[in-house]
Structure 1
Amino acid sequence: MKLLVLIHVLSAIIGVGPTYFAHVLLRKNQSLDELRSSLRVGARLEIFPKIGGSLAVLTGLLLIWLGDYGSFMQIWLFGSLVAYVLIQIIAIGFATPYQKKLGGWVLDPANQKASNLPAEQLMQWIKARKYFYGASAIGLILFIFMIVKPS
């Protein structure tokens, strides 16, 4: 059971962790070249939430099924699951599409000589950042639920 808890905690950290990197990667006031680099790194980090997050959900459900946690409706269990689902919806459903559209323009060889972002891409950058901040805030709530386990 301890091994399952270890796998669950590590996969949760690895799965949600890259959401916090998005703030650094999409930070304000970086040059277009820095943004290009950041978007390349961000594309590589996408694998971690997919694998780590999926493993965290599976091990979490397995822990509930095998463990002595009582009712699934305990606030921390239900809240953790809801928070995780919200993070995925925000990050994958909202932030990532804006990030990909931005990356499509920024990384397009035809735009390599550009020195500034056009208004549309600037809005995509801002929206992606805002959604990642929202996902990170919910991630903080998720970790609080997992650590404090309010009843």
Structure 2
Amino acid sequence: MGLFGLLLALHILASIAIIGPAFVMPVIRRSARTVSQLHFAVNITTKLAVIPKIGGFVLILTGVWLMIITKMGLSQMWLNVSILLSLLMVVMIDGWIEPRLKKIVKILSESQDQGNEIPAEFGRLLKKIVPIETTAQLLMIAILVLMVVKPF
């Protein structure tokens, strides 16, 4: 396996490291029915959030390196669209989803002594995150399709 094969393998593994948790973390959070389950789910998803960040760094690094060694640059439209969608996805996750999740964590820590019922405000905040998470997941699928099919 040459340098190209190694970089491509790392690039694919990094994309899996991003896509996997992005689809699993919302399901874990939404499955909680009590405050203690919710604390556990938030703790797990917070720890899992490190994986996509590392994967994203490796994905960018290997992607740029692959562009350089193949002399592709930004000459392919599918690649330009993929990069644009990736940037949009990062803005959605870091700019919209994470701040809302931090607010939920704050509410949870404040309501720790109020019994085992999940605060109603949590449900409202989670409902605001769901469409953004769904859009980010759809963007991930679109990027993956562009990378595999290379339609234009």
TM-score (norm 2): 0.86
- For residues 62-73 of structure 1, what are the structure 2 equivalents within 5 Å? 62-69=65-72, 72-73=74-75
Runs of at least 4 residues off by over 6 Å: none
How does the TM-score come out when normalised to structure 1?
0.87
User: Within 5 Å, which residues of 2 pair with 1:25-40?
Assistant: 25-27=28-30, 30-40=33-43
2:134 aligned with 1:98: no
Question: What secondary structure sits across from 1:14 in the alignment?
Answer: helix
Amino acid at match of 2:65: L
Partners of 1:29 and 1:45 lie apart in 2 by 16
1:86 maps to 88
Structure 1 position 42, deviation (Å): 0.8
Q: What runs of 5+ residues in structure 1 fail to find an aligned partner?
A: none
- Unaligned 5+ segments in structure 2 are none
Q: Which amino acid aligns with 2:90?
A: Q
Aligned-residue Cα RMSD (Å) equals 2.0
Report matched runs for 1:1-151 at 5 Å.
1-27=4-30, 30-69=33-72, 72-108=74-110, 110-111=112-113, 113-119=115-121, 121-151=122-152
Deviations 1:15-35 (A, max 9, x none): 232211132123267333322
Question: Which whole-Å deviations, capped at 9, do the CAs of 1:50-75 have from their partners, x for residues lacking one?
Answer: 11101101110111111143x51412
Partner of 2:88, secondary structure, is: helix
SS in 2 for 1:116: coil
